[in-house]
Every structure is written in structure tokens, then in C-alpha cells.
């Protein structure tokens, strides 16, 4: 399926009445816009995209790439989050390096655009699928990863150098021929172990962890494997239990290093409800070039039930909160949304009461949510927290770029 690069021409008009009731008119969100982003993350063999070599990816003179780390277990929404991050930066539509298999390229896990490179850390597996059967270890085990090579590559990319990165082929479980990765202004490393190695961790400018609670994981897996694929509950439970020891030992401990944790929990509004989500954005304070998003009043403690006249929500309703906590010994600001909403356009009502969203204009958060309306989580706090995190990354990049430009100008003037 050939994908075309389409332009998002979205105009938002907001009218604020004296009663503070907001009305929103949002137009020109064609279905092809959502399709473009979705197509970007289809399997490589199902799409035709621009080759990475044809994109304007070269670093400007003196520019230092920023490194973003994203840790999460498999099936926790990393691809959807990457779609939100890369679409936030604009530019060419994201696609597979070299065009992907079937389009004159190769089977690859690397996604590129004019500003971003997304590297899947599965490519640093020590053994292929057959080799892990021999070792008896899972891919979650840190003994099955090449951390020395991972560190060397991330360090080289941050220094503006290209690297020859291995490829783990998810289709057949083999280790394929390496591919050349050129540095871009934003490099995202995502996978199971981005924060395990302290050398790699030191190179990361901003770190995120997607924390899906066991109850939500179970509900998602039952819905997918039992309801859609016909698996038995016993087989699903056995699969989860078999994976749990390695997840607990090697993946979950990394969340203590994250600057931003998106925690997905069952709703507290109705104990019988198994589908509605309570999502918490746990934002570490004191991180360079990052100011946590707040609700109404920064540093306060607030619980808020939005007006049903301004935000339509299905049962069991909606509740937001903003609190100050300690998380692994760090001071954090927590923004919470419990419940879902019917109409994304009405999210502007919530957005109008948020501060430090890092948006370029009023309503941009709502517009970004609308542009990926068909993506998972777009009607609840998952999509909102991912969008706010994506905007935080963009602001981080802008601040570091401005500082680097000022340093270069100052050095040139002094020369």
C-alpha cells in the first residue's frame, strides 16, 4: 500500500463566553491525515515510504543530538507513543530506514524522519530466537543484550557520528546484516532496557517509562487473545506468569530512573468496570529544561470533576487530580485523569485549565489528539499524557537547541 504525505490544515476557533463555557470549531481533519500517521507504523512490507537517504536528516554545524529513552514491556503502547512524539515535530512522515522491505530496502526496526530517528533496542539482542532456546533465557533477561555495543553506538550518535547497527528480524527471529544509522537532531531509543546500563543512562537527556499495571495488562490480553483470538483463560494466565519473573527482575526496576512515568491503572470510579482507565503522569521535578504540567495552580493539591455540560463522558464519569508525591525518593508532580471522554474536541475544556503544557498555541494539545483520533488511548488519559510528554520532549529540544546556538554565537564573537 503506497502512502502519501498529506498536510494537516486544521483551524481551531475558540469562543469563551462570560460563563466560561467553551465552544470549539475544528475543521479540515481529513481521514487521510490520520491514515498517514497510522501507515507510518505499518509493517515494513505493507507500505511504500520515502527512503531515509532522501530525507534532510543532516545535523547542523555544531548541533548535538538529544537522546530520548523510552522503556516499556512488549505490548504496552510504545509504537503509539512514538507516533505521537514524531508527529509533534512535523516534517516528513516517519517511515522505515531505506524504505523498508519490499520497497527496495530491507527488513528494519528503525524509523526515520527529517528530525528524528527511532531505534528499537531489540536490535541489540545477543542471540537470535534459536540461540535463546539454547541459552534458556528470555529476551527480557539482561544477559541476552549487547550493552557494550549499545553504549558505543548511542555515544557515537550523540557525538554526531554514524554507526553500523545490527538488526533483529522479528519476522523470522534472526540477526540480519547491520544497517547504517546517521545522527539526527532527536534520537529515540526505545525498548526493554534503555536505562539498565549506567553508561547509556548518562547519555540520555530525557527518560520515559510506560507503566501498565498487572490488572490492565491482564484485561488487555484477555480482550485480545481470548475474545479476538480464541485463546483459553488458562493459556493466557500461563503466558503472563511465565513472563512475570523476568519482567519483575529486569524491566520494572528501570522506572526509578525515569523523568516521566505514564502509569496506567484500573479506574477507581467503579470497581466492577474492567475497561475504563485511570492514568497518571508522574513528572520528576528538578529535571533540566523540563517543567511539569499542572492543573489550575502549580504546586497545589486538587481534585476536579469537570462539568458534564462541557465534557461529555460515558459511565462511570470523569475525575482529574493534581498532587505532589515522592516517587523512588524523588519529588514528583502527578497529573491524573480517571475516566474517558466521548468527544475529543471537548478536551479543550480540560486543556484550558492546564499549565506548562509546552504547546505553541492555545488548543494545540486538543489538535494533536484529534490528528491521531483513531489511535489507542485517544479518548482517555493515555493519549493525553502521551501528548503532554511529546510536547515536553519538543520543548526540551527547542531549549537545548537555543542554548547550543547561543553558545556557538558567543564563541564566534569571541574568536
What is the C-alpha to C-alpha distance for residues 214 and 228, in angstroms, rounded to an integer?
20
Q: Hey, what's the cell of 3?
A: 502512502
What proportions of the chain, in percent to the nearest 5, are helix, strand and coil? 35, 25, 40
d(CA 167, CA 150): 12
- DSSP letter, residue 48: B
How is residue 364 written as a grid cell? 494545540
Pairing of strands 206-212, 95-96: unpaired
Tens place of pLDDT per residue across the chain (415 aa):
233 333 333 333 333 333 333 333 333 333 333 333 333 333 333 333 344 444 445 687 778 899 999 999 877 778 888 888 888 887 656 677 766 676 666 788 888 887 899 999 999 999 999 999 999 999 999 999 999 999 999 999 999 999 999 999 988 899 999 999 999 999 999 999 999 999 999 999 999 999 999 889 888 777 767 766 677 888 888 878 888 999 999 999 999 999 999 999 999 999 999 899 999 999 999 999 999 999 999 999 999 999 999 999 999 999 999 999 999 999 999 999 999 999 999 999 999 999 999 999 999 999 999 999 998 899 999 999 999 999 999 999 999 888 888 888 888 888 8
| Cα distances (angstroms) measured from residue 168 to each of 41, 124, 128 | 17, 7, 7
pTM reported for the whole predicted model: 0.84
Question: CA 117, CA 109: separation in Å to the nearest integer?
Answer: 11
CA 229 to chain CA mean position, Å: 27
C-alpha cell recorded at residue 394: 519538543
Q: Which residues neighbour 348 within 8 Å (Cβ) at sequence distance 6 or greater? A: 12, 14, 22, 24, 363, 366
Residue spans of alpha helices (H) in 136-189: 147-158
The CA distances from residue 199 to 149, 162, 163, 183, 205, in Å, are: 11, 19, 18, 19, 13
DSSP states along 328-386:
TTEEEEEEEEEEB-S-GGGHHHHHTTEE----SSTTHHHHHHHHTTTSTTTTBHHHHHH
Phi, psi of 15 (to 5 degrees): -120, 125
Amino acid at each position: 500500500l503506497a502512502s502519501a504525505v498529506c498536510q494537516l490544515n486544521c483551524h481551531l476557533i475558540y469562543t469563551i463566553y462570560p460563563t466560561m463555557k467553551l465552544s470549539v470549531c475544528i475543521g479540515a481533519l481529513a481521514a487521510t491525515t490520520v491514515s498517514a500517521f497510522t501507515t507510518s507504523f505499518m509493517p515494513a512490507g505493507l507500505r511504500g515510504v520515502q527512503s531515509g537517504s532522501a530525507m534532510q536528516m543532516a545535523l547542523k554545524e555544531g548541533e548535538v543530538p538529544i537522546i530520548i529513552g523510552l522503556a516499556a514491556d512488549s505490548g504496552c503502547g510504545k509504537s503509539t507513543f512514538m507516533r505521537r512524539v514524531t508527529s509533534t515535530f512535523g516534517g516528513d512522515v516517519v517511515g522505515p530506514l531505506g524504505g523498508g522491505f519490499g520497497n527496495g530496502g530491507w527488513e528494519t526496526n528503525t524509523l526515520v524522519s527529517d528530525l528524528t530517528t527511532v531505534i528499537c533496542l531489540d536490535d541489540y539482542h545477543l542471540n537470535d530466537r534459536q540461540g535463546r532456546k539454547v541459552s534458556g533465557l528470555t529476551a527480557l533477561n539482561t544477559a541476552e543484550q549487547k550493552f557494550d555495543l549499545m553504549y558505543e553506538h548511542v555515544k557515537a550518535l550523540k557525538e554526531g557520528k554514524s554507526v553500523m547497527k545490527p538488526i533483529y528480524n522479528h519476522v523470522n527471529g534472526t540477526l540480519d546484516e547491520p544497517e547504517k544509522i546517521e545522527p539526527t537532531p532527536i534520537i529515540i531509543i526505545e525498548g526493554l532496557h534503555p536505562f539498565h546500563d549506567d553508561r547509556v543512562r548518562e547519555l540520555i537527556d530525557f527518560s520515559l517509562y510506560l507503566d501498565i499495571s498487572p490488572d490492565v495488562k491482564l484485561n488487555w490480553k484477555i480482550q485480545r487473545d481470548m475474545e479476538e483470538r480464541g485463546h483459553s483463560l488458562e493459556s493466557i494466565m500461563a503466558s503472563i506468569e511465565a513472563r512475570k519473573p523476568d519482567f519483575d527482575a529486569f524491566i520494572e526496576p528501570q522506572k526509578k530512573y525515569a523523568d516521566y512515568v505514564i502509569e496506567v491503572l484500573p479506574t477507581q470510579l467503579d470497581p466492577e468496570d474492567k475497561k475504563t482507565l485511570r492514568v497518571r503522569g508522574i513528572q520528576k521535578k528538578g529535571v533540566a529544561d523540563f517543567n511539569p504540567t499542572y492543573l489550575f495552580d502549580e504546586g497545589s493539591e486538587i481534585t476536579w470533576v469537570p462539568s458534564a455540560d462541557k465534557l461529555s463522558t460515558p459511565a462511570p464519569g470523569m475525575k482529574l487530580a493534581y498532587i505532589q508525591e515522592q516517587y523512588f525518593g524523588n519529588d514528583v508532580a502527578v497529573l491524573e485523569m480517571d475516566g474517558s471522554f466521548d468527544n475529543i474536541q471537548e478536551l479543550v475544556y480540560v486543556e484550558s485549565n492546564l499549565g506548562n503544557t509546552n504547546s505553541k498555541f492555545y488548543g494545540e494539545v486538543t489538535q494533536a489528539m484529534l490528528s491521531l483520533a483513531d489511535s489507542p488511548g485517544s479518548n482517555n488519559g493515555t493519549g493525553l499524557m502521551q501528548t503532554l510528554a511529546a510536547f515536553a520532549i519538543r520543548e526540551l529540544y527547542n531549549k537545548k537547541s537555543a542554548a547550543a546556538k547561543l553558545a556557538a554565537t558567543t564563541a564566534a564573537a569571541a574568536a
